[in-house]
Amino acid sequence: MSERIHSTGAPWRNFHGRIKGKALRPNQKAWLEEDLGALSPGPVDRDVNSGRKPIDLKSYFGEREIWLEIGFGGGEHMVHQAVRNPEVGIIGCEPYINGVAMLLGKIRASGAQNIAVYPGDARNMMDVLPEGSISRAFLLYPDPWPKKRHHKRRFVTQEHLGPLASCLRKGGIFRMATDIPDYVRQSLEEVPRHGFEWLADGPSDWRTPWTDWISTRYEQKALREGRVPHYLTFRRV
């Protein structure tokens, strides 16, 4: 069966998740109109006749090392990392437009100059990232899809991990944080099958946050509700 594609040339995919929430505030609408275009990492959705070629990251980030955050939520972690690591370029993917608007406000407030924003499905971005171009990737408190019949929608499946392994360079780091024990189980089963090794020698390695970690609003909600965060670190082999 031939692959279904949009008129843009991008593969046609089901997306299971929220695209928009409550009405945006006037300042959030202004941020989207005024800032988002300039922060684009490049033409992710390409015309079907020109094909889906890898994007030219050097034209955007120069010689910077490049990190990728998959589903940045409200953007607090990505802005924190961008300010802390100005020598790095960070691409963030998030289809939830309210989260994108929140991020744009944080970028304005921080003055960060090393962030690119793709307001869409991370799979589309990974399609056009050059092989081995990313040195670090983050998946922080992803949608848990708790029902068993929905586990195939989780990020830690072949549909996502294969492309991630392709764009992450050998020796690159993949960090995950989740408060869902079954998501941890599935991750430890699936991620190593796709070219990664889990970097853990003992319980403290998954119970203790990274030294450069900033607790997100999703983590704070989990803690209030009595759920335990897990911090998993994998290396591309």
Q: Residue 196 maps to which CATH number? A: 3.40.50.150
Joined tokens for residue 5: 């594609």
Determine, yes or no, domain membership for 126: yes
Catalytic residue set: 143
Determine, yes or no, domain membership for 9: no
Determine, yes or no, domain membership for 2: no
Determine, yes or no, domain membership for 16: no
207 pLDDT higher than 50 = yes
Say how many domains are in the chain. Answer: 1
Determine, yes or no, domain membership for 149: yes
Q: Which residues pair with 67 in a beta bridge?
A: 90, 136
> For position 14, what pLDDT does the model report?
62
> For position 77, what pLDDT does the model report?
97
Dist. CA 23–CA 208, nearest whole Å: 37
pLDDT, one tens digit per residue, over 60-108 is: 899 999 999 999 989 999 999 999 999 999 999 999 999 999 999 999 9
What is the domain range of residue 90?
26-236
CA-closest candidate to residue 125, choices 19, 13, 42, 59: 42
Determine, yes or no, domain membership for 101: yes
Reading phi first (left if > 0) and then psi (alpha if -120 to 50, else beta), residue 43 is in beta
Q: Is 191 helix (H, G, I), strand (E, B) or coil?
A: helix
